Structure 1
């Protein structure tokens, strides 16, 4: 079963890994930050070794995003994202696991201070 883990974040300034730019992450003791980073690397290694990591990608600064609208019978390009958006889509990981329980187990390891993680099944 394929799932996408969507990482939402709001670092100012924008950068990757997003956690390095989040006040909540920066406020942690250095030892705790290093432990979180090591845990993340372990998760990625484990997913790779098990053949569950299909891929993933960090995304660029939302200030460089463009929205494509269809209005008035035409397609239109505008700056994005929406002005009222607080959190932005920072990146994603695509996993292929045996069950929803396993997907949730994995996704729990992707959430960090100041970030929201969304787990969504891929439509087959």
Structure 2
């Protein structure tokens, strides 16, 4: 599949369909796991392990990882041919991406249902983004 030219000015400005072909293969969704300084309930990592085991067994979770704290990150930019590297996160915020999962689901509704069962839905927030479909 050839990728179309990438135009960052218009990327993401239109509503994408839930899936390219309702009878086609499952869609992939990136699920960002974001911390929240005011959780609804205390965190329990064993709950996350149960969620991971369930999703891995069902084949709906492709991969997932925990990320280090933003203080260990680097931001890289190239402007006019010169590389700039800065320490720390792109933005200053109390919330930060602490992990990710790639889900393979039949619809956004299914991805939402799966995300709502993740313990961090109660102790943080989850952001779902469908992968672009290149035709």
Tell me the TM-score normalized by structure 2.
0.66
Structure (1/2) with the larger helix percentage: 1
Measure how far apart 1:122 and its partner are. 1.3
| SS of 2:113 mapped into structure 1 | helix
Question: RMSD in angstroms over aligned alpha carbons?
Answer: 2.4
Structure 2 distance, partners of 1:23, 1:45, is 27
Gaps of 5+ in 1: 11-21
Structure 1 distance, partners of 2:108, 2:91, is 34
Deviations 1:43-80 (A, max 9, x none): 22221121111000111121010000223431111112
The question of 1:24 aligning with 2:33 is answered no
Deviations 1:12-62 (A, max 9, x none): xxxxxxxxxx6636x64xxxx55x843x33322221121111000111121
Structure ID, larger Rg: 2
The question of 1:7 aligning with 2:33 is answered yes
Give the structure 2 partner of residue 116 of structure 1: 125
Structure 1 runs of 4+ off > 3 angstroms? 22-25
Tell me the TM-score normalized by structure 1.
0.71
Q: How many residues align?
A: 105
1:51 to 59, 74, 80: 59
